Structure 1
Amino acid sequence: MPQIKRKSHEVEAALEEDVEIQGKRFRLYFQNRYTILSLAVDLLTGFFYILGSVAALIPIPDRVGMYFYLTGSIFLTIRPILRIIKNIFIYDDLKVEKANKSASK
């Protein structure tokens, strides 16, 4: 069973998390977990659009194909939301100020 490790590093005063999947012989290293999520969403989007297209070609109810297209559209909406979350940083200046005061005493 592969081991999954998370590593952190400092980037422009924000903390990014990397994901490392360790197998027996090979190791996969993904920089930034949001990149992995974005790629997974892209794959699922394509998968559901392909299913919707196939459903339109074969004799099944149109509603099934419409659900696949709807699901693909939802995943298309999730991708920019992930990018927004990735690029938003919340800084607690009061907490940093308190930590600096207590460290200087």
Structure 2
Amino acid sequence: MAKLKRKKFKRTSGIKNDIILNVGSFEVYFENIYSIYSLINDLLIGLLFIVGSISNLLNGPPILGQILFLIGSVALILRPLIKIIQNTHVYQEKNEDKKSELEDEISQKTKDDI
């Protein structure tokens, strides 16, 4: 019988967007949670469209199929939104001059109050 070689997974230190889930003696490591959200969204879309199609094929209530198709269509919009959120980073520019001015202003006000 053929032997399969397994590549050892070396997890780097957890990044902010990574999730580590401890299940018993196993550790499940999700790299980049936004990718996981996107994949779950894709699975949900597929499921909604399959159930909606089956409902229409088997002469189920037409409103059920229409609702499932509508929800699936809305979920299609979520994929690009997840990607936008994943690739958007907000940084605060550190301006030491403003910080020192504010500190001076605060210390001056406290001196005046005393």
- Shorter chain as denominator, the TM-score bin is 0.7 to 0.9
Matches of 1:55 and 1:19, distance apart in 2: 37
TM-score when scaled to structure 1? Answer: 0.73
Q: Which residue of 1 aligns with 2:80?
A: 80
Name the one with the larger strand percent.
1
Q: Which residue of 2 aligns with 1:24?
A: 24
| Regions of 4+ moved over 2 Å | none
Aligned-pair RMSD on alpha carbons?
A: 1.8
Secondary structure in structure 2 of the residue aligned to 1:21: strand
Q: Which residue of 1 aligns with 2:112?
A: none
Q: Which residue of 2 aligns with 1:97?
A: 95
Secondary structure in structure 2 of the residue aligned to 1:89: coil
Q: Which residue of 2 aligns with 1:42?
A: 42
Rg comparison, structure with higher value: 2
The count of corresponding residues between Structure 1 and Structure 2 is 86
Q: Tell me the CA shift for residue 63 of structure 1.
A: 1.5
Q: Tell me the CA shift for residue 8 of structure 1.
A: 4.6
TM-score when scaled to structure 2? Answer: 0.68
**Once the two structures are aligned, what percentage of the paired residues are identical?**
36
Q: Which residue of 1 aligns with 2:54?
A: 54
